[in-house]
Amino acid sequence: MKVLINGQLIEYKKEGEGKTILLLHGWGDSLATFDTLAAYIVKKGFTVVRFDFPGFGSSPTPSSTWGVTEYAQLTSELLAKLKIPALYAVVGHSFGGRVIIKSFAKHLLKTEKVVLIGAAGIKPSPSAKKQLFKVIAKAGKAATSVPGLRQLRNGLRKKLYSAAGSTDYLLAGDMQKIFLKTINEDLLPEVGSITAPSLLIWGQNDFETPVKDGAAMQQRIKDSRFVVIPDTGHFVFKDDFAVVTKELDLFL
């Protein structure tokens, strides 16, 4: 289904009956990432709402350079449009976690419970490795500017940025400016604005949003519980669906 929010077309799904749980997907993903989880939650007697953030899935890219605040505002406006004044719970994975944090900081979201799954929002300090690859990337650009080697530039840049952990930027396409604006905002100071009881679920081998980020967030949310699931990565809810749903059952 589609809905128009201030000129922005949004693809969404609303399924089930009972108290409403909102699912917010991560960067480069879509509402479809929650297909299995949404079906499970609906069977537990809840209404599930999920949508494609602008620029992902079937929701068109914003016409301007959005930041996390704009995504939080849109989320609030979508809930109002769907006549959902309050939520029972909101679940955010990765970028969806950023939106939850900003939504609480801006008083845009009312919910009884919060679930953060591998949530993003903490700006990493530049590592020596990343600094090194920036130097290599510049050197590579200079090297491939030599006549006869220019065709190698794109392949070399892709390898360099991939090794430096910046493939999201290369894959962002026309979302690159939004991506840069998003990752350059450190939301750690705003995490404490989450006042609802919270469950934080992390994959032990999450290299996108490390476990230490989850621990730092948990320290700032007064009423919270932090669960680290062994042998799982950034998509922990797919890597070990049984354990994640068990934790959700206990919390919800």
- Domains, the chain, with CATH or none: 2-123+185-251 (3.40.50.1820), 128-174 (no CATH)
Residue from 166, 172, 175 nearest 132 by CA: 166
Place of tokens 């948990």: 218
* Dist CA 144 CA 1 (whole Å): 47
3-state secondary structure of 98: helix
Residues of the chain with pLDDT under 70: 126-173
Tell me the pTM: 0.85
Place of tokens 């109002």: 80
What pLDDT does 107 receive? 97
As to burial, measured by CB atoms within 10 angstroms (0-12 exposed, 13-18 middle, 19+ buried), residue 238 is: middle
Q: Are 67 and 74 in contact (CB under 8 A)?
A: no
Q: What is the arrangement of strands in the sheet containing 2-5, beginning at the earlier edge strand?
A: 2-5, 8-16, 47-51, 20-24, 87-93, 111-117, 198-203, 224-229
What pLDDT does 39 receive? 98
* Dist CA 198 CA 115 (whole Å): 6
Q: How big is the chain, counted in residues?
A: 252
Q: Are 221 and 156 in contact (CB under 8 A)?
A: no
What pLDDT does 174 receive? 74
Query: What tokens appear for 150 in the block?
Result: 């220019």
What pLDDT does 172 receive? 58
What pLDDT does 23 receive? 98
3-state secondary structure of 41: helix
Which DSSP letter does residue 46 get?
A: -
What pLDDT does 99 receive? 98
CB contact set of 83 (below 8 Å; sequence gap of 6+): none
What pLDDT does 128 receive? 41
What pLDDT does 164 receive? 41
What pLDDT does 155 receive? 54
* Dist CA 159 CA 216 (whole Å): 31
Tell me, letter by letter, the H, E, C secondary structure of 79-123: HHHCCCCCEEEEEEECHHHHHHHHHHHCCCCCEEEEEEECCCCCC
Which DSSP letter does residue 226 get?
A: E
193-215 as b/e: b if 16+ CB within 10 A:
bbebbbbbbbbebbebbbbebbe
3-state secondary structure of 99: helix
What pLDDT does 36 receive? 98
What pLDDT does 132 receive? 44
